[in-house]
Amino acid sequence: MTRLPPAVASALVTSLLLLLVNAVAPVSAASGAQPPPVVDEPGVSGYVLAPNGTPVFGGTVVAQSGFASTTASIDRTGRFRLVPTRSGLHQFLVSVPGLPPYRVTVTVPASRSLRLPVIRLAPGAYFRVRFVTPAGEPIIAPQLRRRLFDVSGKPIFDALGDRISDPTDNDGAVTIGPMPGGIMTLAVDMPFFAQTRLPDVNLGDATKTVDGGTIAIQQPGAVLHVEVLDGTGAPVPNHEVHIDDARPRSPLVFQPVRTNQQGRATFDRLAAGRYRVSATAADRCANVLLTTSRVVAVSGSGTVETPLVVDGRATFRITSPLGPARGVLISASPNVPPPTLPLPLPYRPASFGCRGATDADGRATLTNFPPGPAHVDVHMANSTYVRQIEVPSDGREVAIVIPEGFLPIRVVNALNSQPVVRATITWTGSGGRVEATPTASGDALLEGVGTAGGTLAISAQGYQPAEEQLTEPPGILHTVALLPLPPATNLRPRVLTTSGEPLPNAVVELISANPVAVPRVAATDAKGAVAFSDVPSGSIQLIASADGFVTSTMRIEEDRTRDVVFTLLRGYRVIVRVALPATAGPQLVLVVNDDNASIDSFLDSESDRRVESTGRLSLGPLAPGAYVIELHGAGGRRSERIRIIDRDVYATFR
C-alpha cells in the first residue's frame, strides 16, 4: 500500500471535512433546527437613583452571604453589576457618598443572573454638634467614631466604617450625615483628648437636623491603673487586660494592654463613665480558662487605681435537707457579661464553667478560680440548682444550702394535650433558680424549689412562652399547657401572563410598612411562583416586574391566606433619539401620562433617567396609551407626545 506524503494527506482530510459541513448545513436549515439559546452570564445588575430621581454618580455595592462577600462599584450612569460567589440569600448594601446606606435582601437564583428593581435612595437625617475644649475653644476637625442601629437595635453597617472625620464650621460645629432612621451612637476619639461617648442620637424625620448642642471634651482625660494580682496578692506581669464601655451599643474601641513587671496595666484618655475591665485567669481551672471582670467608675480626670485578681481558690460546701450532697457534679463560672459592640475581645467566656465533684462532706474545691460574683450549678438527679454567690478573695468556704421541696411539672401542647419535649423549665425562688428539661412524656421534676412562692417560666421552640407566679410550689403534678406559635407567615405570589401562562424569571419585590423590615427581592421559578418566608405583620407592598411586561403593584393588609396572583400585561418601549446642540448639556428624562402624572415607578432599570445632548434612550416597558416624554436641561423643557398601541414606538428630540 502506497503511503501519501503528509502534506497531501492533510489537504485531503481538510477537503473531506469541508464537504461534510456543506452537506450537513442544508439539512439543518431545511429541518428548521435553531441555534442553541444564549445563556445569560451570571451577574446581578441594578440601577441606583438619588432621592430626586436622577442616577447617582458613584458608590459601592456589597453582597454578603454568610462569610462570602462580593463588591462592585456604581458607575457614573448609576449602574452596577456584580457576580455573587453562590446562589441563595444575600444581604445587599448600597453605599453612595452623601446619601444614607440602602439595604435589601436578595435571593439570588441558581443561575446567579438577576436584574434588580430600580433602587431609589431616600434622603437621610443629619446631626449637628459643636465640640470645645474645657477652656471653651472650638475643636477643629474632630475625629469621630460612630455606630448605626435600626429602631429595633440591630446594627447597620455602611461602607464608611466606624471611624469618620466630618467637616466642621468655623465655630467648630460638625454636621454628620446623611444617615438612615434609627439610633446613632457617637464618640470623640482623637489624640490628647479623652475618648468621649456622646448621648445616643435618635434619628427620625429625615427632613430635620438633630442639634446636639455644645459638648466640652476633657483634656487629656482620666488615667486608670489596673493592678493584676494572683491569689496570693503577688503582681502578674505580661498579662493581657481589656477594657470596655459598660453601656450597650458602644462606638468606643480600646486596645488591650499587657501588664508591666509590676503587674500594672494603664489605660489613659478616659472620659467620665463606667468601664468594665476584664482578663483571663492566670491558669486553667479544670482545663477551662475562665474570665474575670469588674466595673470601675471613672470621674473624667485624675488617676484611678483598681485591683483585678485573676487567680485564687474557690471552695463550695453543698448541703441539702438530707445532709451533705456527696458525689454531686457541680460547675461554676465568674459572672461576665458578653462584650458589647464593637467586639474588642478576641476570646469568649466559657459558658459551661469549671467543673468538679463534691467529696463525702459535700465540698468541692476549684483551683485557679478568680474571686468575685459567680454562679454555681449543682447538677442533681432530675434538675440543676443554680445559685449566685460571691467568691471571697481569701479562699473561705462558701456554703450553698439547697432548700427542700419538689415541683413535678408536665408540659403539654394546649391544642392536643401531647407532651412537649425539649422545653426549658425554670423556677426562680427561695434565693436560687432550678432548671430542668422534660422527658419524652413531657414530665420533669424540679428539686430544691423551697416552700415559698416563686416564678415558673417555660419556653419551647415553636410555642409561646408561659410564665406564672405561684404562692407556693404545688404539692401535686402541675400541668402547663403551651400554645403553639402561629405558623410562620409565608407568602407565595404567582406571576402569570394575560393568557394564564406562568412567567418564570419575573422579579418580585416585597416592601413592608414596618420601618425595621428590610425590602426583599426574589425571582419566580419555572411555575411563575416565588416564596417569601416569615413575612412581617402589617401592611406590605408587592411589586412584580419582568422583561417585556408592565410592572404591577399590589398592597396586602393582614390577610395572608388569599392567593396572590399577578397578571402582567405585555409592555412596549419608547426608543428615543436625542440630537440636541452640544450647548444643551445633560438632560433629565421624565415620562408622564395623559393626566400629567409621573410613571417613573413603571420604568425598568434599562430606562435611562439622564442622557447627554446626543444619545439614545429606551424607556419602558409601558402599557398601550398616550404619554409625554420630557427632557429637562439648561435650555428648558422639551417634550414629545407619543402613543403606544401594540408595538414599540420611536421619537426624536432635535
Which pLDDT score is estimated for 486?
Answer: 81
> What is the grid cell recorded at 204?
427620625
pTM: 0.76
Residue 286 or 425, more confident: 425
Which pLDDT score is estimated for 314?
Answer: 94
Architecture of domain 43-120: Sandwich (2.60)
pLDDT tens track for 241-296: 999 999 999 999 999 999 999 999 999 999 999 999 999 998 999 899 999 999 99
Q: Which of 26-40, 76-90, 417-431 has the lowest mean pLDDT?
A: 26-40
- Does the pLDDT value for residue 4 go beyond 50? no
Which pLDDT score is estimated for 49?
Answer: 97
Which pLDDT score is estimated for 32?
Answer: 34
Residue 317, CB-side half-sphere exposure with 13 Å CA sphere: 9
Q: How are beta strands 520-523 and 102-108 bridged, if at all? A: parallel
Question: By percentage, how much of the chain surpasses pLDDT 70?
Answer: 88
Banded model confidence at residue 41, pLDDT cuts 50, 70, 90: confident
Cα–Cα–Cα angle for 641, 644, 645, nearest 5°?
140
- Multiple choice CATH, 494-568, 3.30.70.580, 3.30.450.20, 2.60.120.10, 2.60.40.1120: 2.60.40.1120
pLDDT tens track for 333-348: 999 886 554 443 343 3
Strand partners, 445: 408
Architecture of domain 406-482: Sandwich (2.60)
Q: What is the DSSP string of 261-303?
A: TTSEEEEEEEPSEEEEEEEE-SS-BTTB--EEEEEEEE-SSSE
pLDDT, mean of residues 622-626: 95
Radius of gyration of the chain (CA): 35
d(CA 55, CA 46): 11
- Give the type of residue at 582: A
- Domain limits of the chain? 43-120, 125-216, 406-482, 494-568, 572-653
Are the C-beta atoms of 541 and 514 separated by less than 8 Å?
no
pLDDT, mean of residues 457-477: 93
Strand partners, 402: none
Which pLDDT score is estimated for 339?
Answer: 58
Which pLDDT score is estimated for 200?
Answer: 93
Are the C-beta atoms of 299 and 341 separated by less than 8 Å?
no
Contacts of 544 (CB under 8 A, 6+ apart): 493, 495, 506, 507, 508, 509, 551, 552, 553, 554, 566, 568
Which pLDDT score is estimated for 14?
Answer: 40
Burial class (CB in 10 A: 0-12, 13-18, 19+), 64: middle
Which pLDDT score is estimated for 38?
Answer: 40
- Residue in the structure block whose three cell numbers are 431609589: 120
Banded model confidence at residue 561, pLDDT cuts 50, 70, 90: low
Which pLDDT score is estimated for 635?
Answer: 86
Closest alpha carbon to 174 in 123, 208, 140, 218: 140
Are the C-beta atoms of 185 and 261 separated by less than 8 Å?
no
Architecture of domain 125-216: Sandwich (2.60)
Question: By percentage, how much of the chain surpasses pLDDT 90?
Answer: 72
pLDDT, mean of residues 44-49: 97
pLDDT tens track for 527-538: 999 999 888 878
| Check whether domain 572-653 has CATH 3.40.50.1370, yes or no | no
d(CA 214, CA 253): 23
DSSP code at position 446: E
- Does the pLDDT value for residue 6 go beyond 60? no
pLDDT, mean of residues 642-646: 96
Closest alpha carbon to 130 in 172, 99, 96, 94: 172
